[in-house]
């Protein structure tokens, strides 16, 4: 008998009744992200050709400048979401402020806000290493019929209705959750279709990989230094393996599949950490918890942190549940470092 291959499009339709507010809008939203992911994937894949094509192209009389890939990805995701009239506002790591989308007849009746990091791992573009896109979806809290406000974006991560990422890697994958587990889809680039390749993704409870920019070691808080020494100690299944790509999405993806922990702590160089709570930490935390992993700031659950500004940064400890518990034990010995 032939195996049935489920496409992302089919999967979205099948799962529609699982959504809390099942009017089909969230399905449309995921569909527009699917489309934008394909467009960005196409561009990312030929990123190395840009200079070559630019040099030989004499016909471009528009004088159009090749946009940087992160600005391009931002534009593509923005347009895909704006055009579907499902979203009332978008906040992006690339833009200082959120944008308001008035929707059909300017009635401000759309329900969802999207927050995104359109291109994560941008320092890896020029060297042909995997990059990603991260997105996070909330239901607005201000009443429909009025323009969206900042409070609609400053919700705790626990209020997310969907979150996901795209990893533009050796193969391109879209991984997302709507609060019913995590599913991963791999793009067949020849025909532009995502297929369900990783149903019900789950972290192994224990892992043996730790991912951190260890070059910053001297700047780390003592709890992190102690944990790293623990990871490196010869005992039981230790020393652990160190793996750090420098693209959160890729490091996260590997750790979720193989079992591991990703850490971007506070440091004397980055006193509040580097990652953004709204565009990076919260969506990844939602996916991690849905995959039976955990995410904290070293002390408290990431998704319980009350956001106070759009671009706020947060220390991030995310991965296999027993590894996150362990590092939190080390951090708990230095309670003052919780006040970052």
- Residues forming contacts to Mn ion in the complex (CB under 5 A) are 93, 117, 119-120
Residue 246 near which of ligand AHG, Mn ion, none (CB within 5-8 Å, type-dependent)? ligand AHG
> Judged by CB under 6 A, which of 33, 187, 248, 277 binds ligand AHG?
248
Q: How far apart are CA 235 and CA 148, in angstroms?
A: 54
- Smallest gap from Cβ 227 to ligand AHG, in A, equals 17
Binding residues for ligand AHG restricted to 184-213, rule: CB under 6 A: 213
Q: Which is nearer to ligand AHG, 111 or 313 (CB)?
A: 313
Say how many CA atoms lie within 13 Å of 220 toward its Cβ.
22
- Smallest gap from Cβ 142 to ligand AHG, in A, equals 28
Mode of pairing for the β-strands spanning 241-242 and 209-211: parallel
Q: How far apart are CA 169 and CA 250, in angstroms?
A: 8
Does residue 201 contact residue 291 with C-beta atoms inside 8 Å? yes
Which tokens sit at 217? 């070691």
Q: Residue with structure tokens 């974006």?
A: 153
Which tokens sit at 59? 């016909």
> Judged by CB under 6 A, which of 121, 259, 273, 319 binds ligand AHG?
121
Q: Which is nearer to ligand AHG, 13 or 71 (CB)?
A: 71
DSSP string, 245-267: -S-HHHHHHHHHHH-EEEEE---
> Judged by CB under 6 A, which of 98, 103, 115, 120 binds ligand AHG?
120
Q: Which is nearer to ligand AHG, 25 or 297 (CB)?
A: 297
Q: Which is nearer to ligand AHG, 32 or 122 (CB)?
A: 122
Length reported for the chain? 340
Q: Which is nearer to ligand AHG, 154 or 248 (CB)?
A: 248
DSSP H helical ranges for 64-176: 69-84, 150-153
- Smallest gap from Cβ 59 to ligand AHG, in A, equals 33
Binding residues for ligand AHG restricted to 266-305, rule: CB under 6 A: 274
User: Does a cis peptide bond (omega within 30 degrees of 0) precede residue 239?
Assistant: yes
Residue 122 interacting with ligand AHG (CB under 6 A) = yes
Piece of 8-16, 43-51, 118-126, 155-163 that binds ligand AHG (CB under 6 A): 118-126
Residue 255 interacting with ligand AHG (CB under 6 A) = no
CA dihedral (175, 312, 318, 170) positive or negative: positive
Q: Across the strands, what pairs with 295? A: 318
> Judged by CB under 6 A, which of 25, 117, 289, 337 binds ligand AHG?
117
Q: Which is nearer to ligand AHG, 121 or 259 (CB)?
A: 121
Q: Which is nearer to Mn ion, 9 or 246 (CB)?
A: 246
Residue 247 near which of Mn ion, ligand AHG, none (CB within 5-8 Å, type-dependent)? ligand AHG
Residue 274 near which of ligand AHG, Mn ion, none (CB within 5-8 Å, type-dependent)? ligand AHG
Interior CA angle at 124 toward 136 and 168, to 5°?
A: 50
Radius of gyration of the chain measured on its C-alpha atoms: 20
Q: How far apart are CA 20 and CA 118, in angstroms?
A: 26
Binding residues for ligand AHG, rule: CB under 6 A, are: 93, 117, 120-122, 213, 246-248, 274
């Amino acid at each position: 008998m032939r195996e049935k291959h489920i496409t992302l499009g089919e999967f979205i339709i099948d799962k529609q009744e699982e959504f809390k507010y099942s009017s089909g809008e969230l399905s449309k939203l995921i569909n527009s992200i699917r489309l934008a992911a394909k467009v960005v994937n196409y561009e990312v894949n030929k990123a190395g050709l840009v200079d070559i094509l630019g040099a030989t192209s004499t016909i471009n009389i528009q004088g159009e400048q090749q946009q940087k890939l992160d600005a391009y990805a931002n534009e593509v995701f923005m347009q895909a979401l704006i055009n579907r009239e499902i979203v009332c506002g978008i906040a992006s790591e690339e833009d200082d402020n959120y944008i308001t989308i008035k929707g059909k007849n300017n009635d401000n009746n759309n329900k969802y806000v999207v927050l995104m990091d359109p291109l994560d791992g941008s320092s890896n573009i020029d060297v042909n290493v995997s990059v990603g896109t991260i997105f996070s979806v909330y239901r607005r809290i201000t009443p429909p019929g009025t323009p969206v406000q900042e409070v609609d974006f400053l919700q705790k991560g626990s209020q997310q209705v969907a979150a996901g990422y795209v990893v533009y890697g050796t193969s391109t994958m879209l991984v997302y959750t709507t609060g019913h587990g995590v599913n991963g889809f791999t793009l067949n680039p020849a025909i532009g279709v995502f297929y369900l390749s990783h149903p019900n993704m789950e972290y192994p409870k224990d892992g043996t990989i730790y991912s951190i920019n260890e070059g910053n070691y001297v700047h780390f808080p003592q709890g992190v230094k102690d944990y790293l020494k623990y990871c490196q100690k010869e005992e039981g299944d230790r020393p652990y393996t160190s793996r750090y790509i420098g693209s959160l999405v890729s490091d996260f993806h590997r750790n979720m599949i193989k079992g591991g922990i990703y850490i971007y702590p506070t440091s004397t160089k980055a006193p509040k950490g580097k990652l953004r709570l709204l565009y990076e930490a919260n969506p990844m935390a939602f996916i991690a918890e849905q995959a039976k992993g955990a995410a904290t700031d070293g002390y408290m659950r990431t998704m319980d942190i009350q956001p106070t500004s759009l671009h706020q940064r947060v220390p991030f400890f995310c991965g296999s549940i027993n590894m996150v518990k362990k590092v939190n034990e080390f951090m708990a010995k230095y309670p003052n470092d919780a006040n970052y």
